[in-house]
Amino acid sequence: MILELFKKTIDLNLNWLLPETNSEIDLTRAKILSTTCIAFSIITLILSPIALYFTHSNFPFFLLSIAMLSLALVFKYTGSLILVGNILCCITYIAFFLLIPKTGGIFSEDLHSMFIVPLAAFVLVGYRSGIVWSAISFITIGYFYSQINSSVDVLAFRSQLVNLNANYYLVISCINILIACVLSTILIRENQKLVKKIEGQNTALENSNSKLLKTEAKLKHRNNELNKFASIVSHDLQQPIRTIQNFSEILREHLEENGNPSSPQLTYIKFIEEGSGRMKRLVTDLLDYARSTKKQKDFHFSSLDDILNEVIMDLDNQISNNNVLIRRKPLPKANVVPVRIYQVFQNLISNALKFKKDGQQLVLDIYAIEKEKSITIAIKDNGIGIKEIHIKDIFEPFKKLHSKNEYEGSGIGLSTCQNIVGIHKGKLWVESTYGEGSTFFFSISKKLKAVPKATGQRRVSSSV
């Protein structure tokens, strides 16, 4: 816990010291540069009293600490990686240049660490600066090598030649710098390739997202236009259908009062009434289907049992006339659009009533299956069932497996149900055995968010 608190404190202070950057690569370099400056400042500050009291060294550790801290602040307000990075390399180089003659010149272990300067330039500034500082480091090593026979201070370390030749120190120091150059070059080249690849992928992704957003906007516009068109067409078509039905009824009543009840005119009028009735149902179903494709967000935490009760009450005449036995288990509450779930229950139960077996009592079993992320409702019947090859077809709009003489309907009810269930982030499917019955399942997601329930909410109605 203490380490985590320390890390958060360091991150907070480091973030304060960072300038604003536009890329992840610059941000990474900025973090390395700021961390290096702060770390060097702390280390040299600690070394300052140690060098003064224990080794009696006059090396300016304290001034170096102040310089590093000042450099971090300069970077905070300028944000220039090139400027501050080169200044850092320069300060580090000067520190090495002052320290190396005091620790052995060409024989100094500090000379082996000279590769830190070009390495810092490669990492923090860039390839060109790395090459420049590498050249300066090579020149510096050559300079100290040339001072073996000319400098009185360096001659004091000639005793080390007994163990290792000066050429050894020269080669090792140069190899260190070469390794730093080669590795940095490889890493920079690979990093550039990776950056180009990522930039290309980001550009392609942005283009794809832009096209997707445009397509989505067009699709929403077309869906809105389609909904408006369906509403207008349905409204405009219902009026002439009602007119046909009204005049057909007047003609039928007139013929029944003044003519022969079995006249062909009455048969023709009956055909007109049946056709107009089918047309009215089709228009109503089309309007329901158009509404079901519209995304709704007015979810309410509702009792599925209450919705089912209203459906059964509205279908009471059909249920009683067909002597239907309904066996049901308690259903849970869920966030739903009540009027739409009413439609699903109504469609599925109406279909069960429609496709029951002749001469056999229809039995409906209605129950729920609760899972972690969803609620699944099942409606099982013992009707005529569906052939396996037709199971996928029944969910297609206007797809009818039977002729209008066998079973009435527009063939759009299950498609409407599928759209409604989709609004509830669920699925609609069926398991059926031909000749034995079917079980329809529809699921409702538990992740839907309910809106506050309005006071005085009206009873769910089938007139949607």
In this predicted structure, what is the pLDDT of residue 305? 93
- How far apart, in whole angstroms, are the C-alpha atoms of residue 162 and residue 143? 22
CB 357 within 8 A of CB 384: yes
Read off the pLDDT of residues 137-164 as tens digits, 9 standing for 90 and up: 888 888 887 777 555 444 445 455 445 5
C-alpha atoms less than 13 angstroms from C-alpha of 195 in its C-beta half-sphere: 10
Confidence of residue 26 (pLDDT cuts 50, 70, 90): low
Angle (deg, nearest 10), helices 166-258 and 127-146: 170
Is the model's pLDDT at 375 over the cut of 90?
yes
Residue 460, pLDDT > 70, answer no
Specify the pLDDT at position 141. Answer: 84
Share of the chain above pLDDT 70, in %: 71
Q: Average pLDDT for residues 290-315, to the nearest whole number?
A: 80
Residue 1 scores a pLDDT above 80: no
Task: Tell me the whole-structure pTM to 2 decimals.
Answer: 0.47
Task: Give mean pLDDT, residues 304-320.
Answer: 89
Residue 337 has pLDDT above 90, yes or no: no
Instruction: Give the pLDDT score at 78.
Output: 76
Q: Which residues pair with 433 in a beta bridge?
A: 437
CA distance 359 to 350: 18
Instruction: Return d(Cα 41, Cα 45) in angstroms, integer.
Output: 6
Tell me which residue of 458, 314, 440, 453 sits closest to 379, measured CA to CA.
Answer: 440
Least confident of 291-300, 347-356, 388-397: 291-300
- Domains belonging to the chain, first-starting first, are 11-209 (no CATH), 297-464 (3.30.565.10)
Give the CB-side neighbour count of residue 252, counting CA atoms within 13 A: 15
* DSSP-derived secondary structure letter, 326: E
Phi, psi of 427 (to 5 degrees): -135, 155
Give 261 or 37, the one with higher predicted confidence: 37
pLDDT band at 464 (very low <50, low <70, confident <90, very high): very low
Higher-pLDDT residue of 2, 96: 96
Tell me the residue length of the chain.
464
Across 318-326, average pLDDT: 88
Residue 365 has pLDDT above 90, yes or no: yes
Query: Alpha-carbon distance 239 to 242, whole Å?
Result: 5
pLDDT digits (tens, 9 = 90+) for 90-141: 888 888 888 787 777 777 777 777 888 888 888 777 788 888 888 888 888 8
